[in-house]
Amino acid sequence: MKTWTMMYLLIWVAFLQILIIMFPILGSFPTYDLHLVVGVAVIGLAYTVYSRVSKTGCPARIKRITKTTAYLGVFQAILGLTLYLFLRLGVGVPFTGLINFIHVAVAIAMITQASSSATAFDMWEEKEFTLPTTTGATGTS
């Protein structure tokens, strides 16, 4: 699978993960368990994308964005596992609402970061970037 395809897949899988929690239409199926499985897929995709992009000659900014996305995935796992244990054990922790809010905010940030890097990488790979040219000592084009 091409790198840019995996980048766009990451966006949609992360979006699906949010929908699973927002609209638990699977009846008695354990929604949190499905969310956990899809979360592992998101982290795997984020790391794979980061690993592949870091081996290319693309601009450093794209590499930094994919690295940040992978790190956000790890942070998501920590937050998500904490919430999962709290919910499964029925432990009422005072900061559960705050942890949940941060978990959702980071998920949206991941989609934003993944979208940005996917578009930029796709443009770089297709040679759609143009470098400014200067003529003469005045720096005008």
Between 91 and 46, the higher pLDDT residue: 46
Burial class from Cβ neighbours inside 10 Å (0-12, 13-18, 19+) for residue 53 reads buried
Residue 132 resides in a domain: no
Q: Band of the pLDDT at 14, cuts 50, 70, 90?
A: very high
User: Does a structural domain hold residue 140?
Assistant: no
> In the prediction, which pLDDT does 89 show?
78
Tell me the mean pLDDT in the region 103-109.
Answer: 94
Residue 137 placed within a domain: no
Burial 76-107 (b: 16+ CB within 10 A, else e): bbebbebbbebeeeeeeeeeeeebbeebeebb
How confident is the model at residue 78, as a pLDDT? Answer: 94
17 in any annotated domain: yes
Range of the domain at 22: 3-125
Number of domains forming the structure of the chain: 1
What integer pLDDT is reported at residue 29 of this predicted model?
65
Q: Is the dihedral of CA 82, 83, 86, 89 positive or negative?
A: negative
Give dist(CA 105, CA 115) in Å, integer: 15
130 within some domain? no
- Whether residue 138 lies inside any domain: the answer is no
Distance CA 14, CA 72 (A): 12
Average pLDDT over the chain, rounded to an integer: 87
Higher pLDDT, 27 or 103: 103
Share of the chain above pLDDT 70, in %: 87
pLDDT of 130 reads: 65
Task: Place 71 in a pLDDT band, splitting at 50, 70 and 90.
Answer: very high
pLDDT, residue 1, reads 85
Q: Which residue has the higher pLDDT, 93 or 36?
A: 36
**Global pTM value:** 0.81
Amino acid at 16: L
